[in-house]
Structure 1
Amino acid sequence: MNKLSDWLPTTNKEVKLRGWEELDVILFSGDAYVDHPAFGPAVIGRILESYGLRVAIVPQPSVNDNLQDFTKMGTPKMFFAVTGGCMDPMVSNYTASKKRRDKDAYTPNGDKGFRPDYATSVYSKILKEKFPDIPVLIGGIEASLRRVTHYDYWSDQLKPTILEDSKADLLVYGMGEQPLREIVNLLQKGVPFSSLTTVKQTAFLHPRDQNIPKNKNWEDVRINSHEVCLLNKKKFAANFKTIEQESNKLHADRIFQNVGDNTLVINPPYETMTEEEIDASFDLPFTRLPHPKYNKRGPIPAFEMIKFSINIHRGCFGGCSFCTISAHQGKFIASRSQESILKEVDKVAEMPDFKGYLSDIGGPSANMYQMKGKVQKICDKCVAPSCISPVVCHNLDTSHKPLTDLYKAVDKHPKVKKSFIGSGIRHDMLVPEFNKKADPKELDAYTEEVMTNHVSGRLKVAPEHTSDPVLKLMRKPSFAYFHKFKERFDKINVRKKLNLQLIPYFISSHPASELQDMANLAAETKDMGFQLEQVQGFTPTPMTVATVIYYSGYHPYTLKPMKTPKTKKERDDQHKFFFWYKKENQDWIKNILTNVGRKDLLEKLIPQGNSWRKNKPGRAKDTFDDTITKSPRRKNKYKKRTKR
């Protein structure tokens, strides 16, 4: 039975329960406090605690009253820590069409209104006003992806580094365990907070009239200033190539960017966490439950979704143009040991309401566990943003055997009846024609294991589009490989008498996507027997290639102009093609395809005298708000990509 003191303290009463007279760190979070390894604020709190610090957490402080939540815990001895939560607050608060959401998954009962827009900046500025002499350290997904000049879709503005807006003293980007360890170690040795200028994976503002501290181990690279970016979209786009490459290199350069009277300094990232390091993070003494203060307020949706799931690795080497995972978690995979994973399965199995079903054994992408370069020296020099686009790297070990073995080990647990794979599976890596260096028998063994033992009726994959030019920009393989995967899926389905459905995910309004591309998508997927239901409109989020193109009109790697659907009409029109089977859309589709001379597509979509027999399973909603948080797979994937 858990005691109140098993959680990090959230009130002065709970601080006294631990016998503490003062605190070393006070952590402010935009999420409700769930003491679980899938929730970044809890992980940061537990990490700091493991270094012997006295840590308290203030979840979802009110910004609409006398601001007493910001002063009630007093003054920390070391610093304030601030995070907007597990998702960027603007993604939490708004849909792709910029409408305010009616639910917040990280708040009890899904209640909205407990997290301000741009929460990290709001919290940090309040703390700097009330405690001007106490350092503020910001981190989490919001700070991480806004660490440099970035386009903010919701305000339709180019914004400077979040350090400028938040007035914070130091920013930790990416996963926080490694930089926090060094920060705490230096502070405990007596180094002043203002002198923390050489910690990897941190960023800070430095007065332009002062020399930047040198580091003999790092090369320096300077990108276009924020002011230049405001005046020249092409130069803003040019910055991103440097930012992305340095984020993904194992031995990166330090980045400088002038911002007003200061220079933004972004120190290189740490090398990928070792198995021992990532195991240590997951092995911390989490209660794995929301704080008891929420017992009467209702369940926390994000927790309910993942409480019986296991995260087995971090990072993603896909490098998709619309995705933020590698910008935050890194391109290289950090995998937990099988021993650590099975230890967590033991803990889940002991939960009182566990019925024997694990909802997910996965990560940002389900099938990248234990994958890495065969020759480390090749990876050391690599600057490619993706290891599998445009082709699978010859140096990448894509063996699925460790993952297949892990699934089987989990299923041997006496209290596990079935383990599901809820994370998105990279189906392209299971196609021998694409993943040419892999053993086809091994790929089929994994696919069969998933289909036979880890799916409940439906296997969800994400080809994202059917147009090869759009897919190339997305850093996704040709749709021809989805056809190949479906052939293998169908064969296993028939041979094993499984009667499973294959559910593909698609995105509309992505850069380079034309209206005819969406018509082709509708026609080709109809020919394959699909009535699409898992669909979404492209949402520009900071720190992605696609967002840079959306704002600037230029590809950051080629600096060539690129078109993007931007107006509401353009985006709505693209989305309509997902729902060609709806009567209210058919006259519009007829007019569009007739006007552009594509009667061939019209005949495929709406043949004269025939009607399309709808598939039985769920239908998509004809709304542009059908975004990531309304789909279990999208929600699960986004949650993992935005940890911390």
Structure 2
Amino acid sequence: MAFLPMNIKEVKARGWDEVDFVYVMGDSYVDHPSFGAAIITRVLEDCGYKVAVLSQPDWKNDADFLQFGKPRLGFFVTAGNIDSMVAHYTVAKRKRSDDAYTAGGKNGKRPDRAVTVYSNIIRRLYPDSVIIIGGLEASLRRFAHYDYWKNTVMPSVLFDSKADIISYGMGELQTIEMAKRLSEGYPVEALYDIRGICYAVKTSDYVPKTVVELPSYERVCESKKDYAIAARKELEEADAVRGKTLIQRHGNCILIQNPPMQPLDTKQLDYVYSLPYERWYPQCYEKLGGVPGIQEVLFSITHNRGCFGACNFCSLAFHQGRAVTVRSKQSVIDEAKSFLNDKRFKGYISDVGGPTANFRLPSCEKQKKAGLCKSRKCLAPTPCPNMQVSHTEYLDILRELRKLDGIKKVFIRSGIRFDYLMEDQSDEFFEELVKYHISGQLRVAPEHCSAAVLDRMGKPHIETYKKFCDKFYKLTGRMSKDQYIVPYLMSSHPGSTLKDAVELALFCKRENIHPKQVQDFYPTPGTISTCMFYTGIDPYTMKEVYVPKTEEEKSMQRALLQYFIPENKQKVIKALIKAGRKDLIGYDSKCLVQPMSNQNNYKGNNKGQKSSYNSNKNNSRNRNGKQTKDKFAKYRRKKK
């Protein structure tokens, strides 16, 4: 099967006089099921529609948008796999130089706020054409939302983009239904009852229904309390079983969000992943160096969707949903077998995962009929007693994959939910995970150690992580493997004070963790944590939350997590003094840094300090580097 046509020449080569849909996107075109654009376009193609892909059009010139003419049925528009602003800017709002989703890997091939820019151009050129926006950028900006880059509350992207409809969430089922009705000649207004979409009507045209009304755009701009109320309600109703229609007034218009579309069931997911993807990028990108983003996922397999972990800083709950759905074992095996025919495949499956790799079951039996709970999380701060825990199906799939001729190794890299794993009464999966499925290091996400901060994050308390690490290293030592845990840590999350950052630094010191990188909290649209960042209010309790916002404090929190780097010494000392922890400045083993009383002496010792850091990094980082020989020796002695 060939790639979909990317220009008018390729359209003509297929013998088409016109196209049904033009799919406009901010990424380079990659036909792989890890890329949402590939899934939607292949689904449309499989339904019999003629689809052209307009990838990274020049928004400063109309020529790219004019080449296909007006499509018969309409335009689909997406920024790409991630929000264009996140793709372009670091958390410090500095321009990134690279872009994993662009051929050649260089930034600058898509505009800021790509969905809005592309859609406005299309509306100007084709005033009466149907425009449907979707993907992560549009989905997370579907209501009035705080925009970190402008530091203001913006209206729903539907209004700024001048689009007709937002398709939110994963999108396959609503896309099929919208395409069907448009092809049957129905006007765009006839699509307004489809689940999983947002649309707008004039206030004068609105017919009152049984809905949940959010505070208006004007109210959430004026009142942070109203913003917090809106954010909570938006997430509470993001459930396909019990979710209600939401409305939000914007001036003389009303934004209407229909309830979420039902997640794809196993049969439907199997269908989506069975479509004839090229699993690569078009030849025209080779001369640019290819698309870097394909390398990590080329021979990966997605076996599930949804995440009932629902961390407050993660957009998954708002976009993909909390309900977990899975592919069948045979579908996963068939995809793995297809790798064997690819000359690029060397026998290594890089991942068998999804949003959370080890979820195969719904969170509980109750959620199938009643939906997921509004008022509590399944795993945090403690696991729900009704949660069902089993790795049996997942383990069965992994075992079958390992048996396939031509498969040398099957890795798990997309993230193990360690708190869920620790609830499993059987050690069978844990043992096989350590024995077969780790490529030297296992990345997990404790994020912090302070209970107060973890509560704001919606994460379990640190004791669970400690138990997980102890068990991991015992298994690793028993199997004489050189494997280690790499923890993701986050600084400056709402609720994190300087004292909390000091606590995390001390935790890292005790646990011998030396993070190479630290992620500052990044306020992206649609998350509860972003709501806390903007309002200073926890939307679940409506109580005030401390928010570190100044660059000075953020840099101090970052430096504390990397206290062992000599270049951070001055900031660490400043942070410790400000936090009232001068006791941690000194020569005692409990201290984080030595004093800088003698500047010349400090400069003279700088080389030695770096040498000490490098020595520590290479020889004793059992939680974030190679495990020490002493650590293994301890386990081997126990074994004897």
- Same topology, TM > 0.5: yes
Q: Call closer, same or farther: CA 1:234–1:416 in 2, change over 3 Å.
A: same
Asked if the contact 2:308/2:377 (under 8 Å) is kept, the reply is: yes
> Partner residue of 2:383?
392
**1:153-552 equivalence runs, <5 A:** 153-212=148-207, 219-248=210-239, 250-376=241-367, 379-380=370-371, 382-384=373-375, 386-431=377-422, 435=423, 438-439=424-425, 441=426, 444-552=427-535
1:508-532 Cα distance to aligned partner (Å, 9 max, x none): 0000001111111111121112212
SS in 1 for 2:293: helix
Q: Call closer, same or farther: CA 1:598–1:25 in 2, change over 3 Å.
A: same
CA distance in 2, matches of 1:589, 1:10: 52
CA distance in 1, matches of 2:376, 2:68: 43
Q: Call closer, same or farther: CA 1:476–1:279 in 2, change over 3 Å.
A: same
> Partner residue of 2:592?
606
CA distance in 1, matches of 2:268, 2:25: 24
Which deviates further from its counterpart, 163-172 or 606-615? 606-615
Question: For 1:102, which of 87, 97, 100 is the aligned residue?
Answer: 97
1:258-280 Cα distance to aligned partner (Å, 9 max, x none): 01210000000022221011111
1:51-99 Cα distance to aligned partner (Å, 9 max, x none): 11111110000012x3100010111111111000000000111111111
> Partner residue of 1:558?
541
CA distance in 2, matches of 1:550, 1:402: 39
What amino acid sits opposite 2:379 in the alignment?
I
What amino acid sits opposite 2:223 in the alignment?
N
Asked if the contact 1:248/1:326 (under 8 Å) is kept, the reply is: no
SS in 2 for 1:19: coil
CA distance in 2, matches of 1:76, 1:213: 35
> Partner residue of 1:626?
none
CA distance in 2, matches of 1:192, 1:287: 34
What amino acid sits opposite 1:98 in the alignment?
K
1:9-45 Cα distance to aligned partner (Å, 9 max, x none): 1112211222211111111010111111111111111
Bigger radius of gyration among the two? 2
CA distance in 1, matches of 2:219, 2:242: 28
> Partner residue of 1:624?
none
What amino acid sits opposite 2:560 in the alignment?
F
In the TM superposition, residue 309 of structure 1 has moved relative to its aligned partner by 0.9
In the TM superposition, residue 600 of structure 1 has moved relative to its aligned partner by 4.7
Instruction: List gaps (5 residues or longer) in structure 2.
Output: 596-608, 622-640
What amino acid sits opposite 2:518 in the alignment?
V
Q: Call closer, same or farther: CA 1:134–1:122 in 2, change over 3 Å.
A: same
What amino acid sits opposite 1:170 in the alignment?
I
Asked if the contact 1:306/1:359 (under 8 Å) is kept, the reply is: yes
1:539-581 Cα distance to aligned partner (Å, 9 max, x none): 0000111100111111112221111111111111110101111
CA distance in 1, matches of 2:161, 2:407: 46
In the TM superposition, residue 608 of structure 1 has moved relative to its aligned partner by 6.2
> Partner residue of 2:617?
615
> Partner residue of 2:633?
none
CA distance in 2, matches of 1:333, 1:41: 21
> Partner residue of 2:136?
141
Q: Call closer, same or farther: CA 1:608–1:550 in 2, change over 3 Å.
A: closer
SS in 2 for 1:34: coil
In the TM superposition, residue 371 of structure 1 has moved relative to its aligned partner by 4.0
What amino acid sits opposite 2:569 in the alignment?
Q
Asked if the contact 2:508/2:561 (under 8 Å) is kept, the reply is: no
Q: Call closer, same or farther: CA 1:70–1:487 in 2, change over 3 Å.
A: same
CA distance in 1, matches of 2:193, 2:208: 8
CA distance in 1, matches of 2:321, 2:227: 22
1:485-536 Cα distance to aligned partner (Å, 9 max, x none): 1110121012111121111110000000011111111111211122122421
What amino acid sits opposite 1:118 in the alignment?
R
**1:65-144 equivalence runs, <5 A:** 66-144=61-139
CA distance in 2, matches of 1:20, 1:8: 12
> Partner residue of 1:49?
45
SS in 2 for 1:616: helix
Q: Call closer, same or farther: CA 1:503–1:213 in 2, change over 3 Å.
A: same
Asked if the contact 1:78/1:135 (under 8 Å) is kept, the reply is: yes
Asked if the contact 1:29/1:58 (under 8 Å) is kept, the reply is: yes
What amino acid sits opposite 2:401 in the alignment?
V
SS in 1 for 2:486: strand
Q: Call closer, same or farther: CA 1:190–1:449 in 2, change over 3 Å.
A: same
Which deviates further from its counterpart, 604-613 or 196-205? 604-613
In the TM superposition, residue 381 of structure 1 has moved relative to its aligned partner by 6.5
What amino acid sits opposite 1:536 in the alignment?
Q
What TM-score does the superposition give when structure 1 sets the normalisation length?
A: 0.90
CA distance in 1, matches of 2:463, 2:592: 24
In the TM superposition, residue 389 of structure 1 has moved relative to its aligned partner by 1.8
1:306-347 Cα distance to aligned partner (Å, 9 max, x none): 111111111111110110011111001111111111111112
Q: What fraction of aligned residue pairs are identical, expressed as a percent?
A: 39
Asked if the contact 1:470/1:511 (under 8 Å) is kept, the reply is: yes
SS in 1 for 2:617: coil
Asked if the contact 2:82/2:137 (under 8 Å) is kept, the reply is: yes
In the TM superposition, residue 249 of structure 1 has moved relative to its aligned partner by 5.0
Which deviates further from its counterpart, 279-288 or 504-513? 279-288
What amino acid sits opposite 1:468 in the alignment?
A
In the TM superposition, residue 394 of structure 1 has moved relative to its aligned partner by 2.7
SS in 1 for 2:133: strand
Asked if the contact 1:35/1:287 (under 8 Å) is kept, the reply is: yes
SS in 2 for 1:300: coil
What TM-score does the superposition give when structure 2 sets the normalisation length?
A: 0.91
> Partner residue of 2:5?
9
CA distance in 2, matches of 1:255, 1:67: 36
In the TM superposition, residue 430 of structure 1 has moved relative to its aligned partner by 2.0
Asked if the contact 1:249/1:381 (under 8 Å) is kept, the reply is: no
CA distance in 2, matches of 1:557, 1:608: 42
Which deviates further from its counterpart, 380-389 or 49-58? 380-389
1:596-639 Cα distance to aligned partner (Å, 9 max, x none): 442454452337699765221899xxxxxxxxxxxxxxxxxxxx
Which deviates further from its counterpart, 610-619 or 83-92? 610-619
CA distance in 1, matches of 2:208, 2:593: 69
What amino acid sits opposite 1:72 in the alignment?
Q
Q: Call closer, same or farther: CA 1:125–1:587 in 2, change over 3 Å.
A: closer
In the TM superposition, residue 388 of structure 1 has moved relative to its aligned partner by 1.3
The total of aligned residue pairs comes to 602
CA distance in 1, matches of 2:310, 2:584: 32
> Partner residue of 1:632?
none
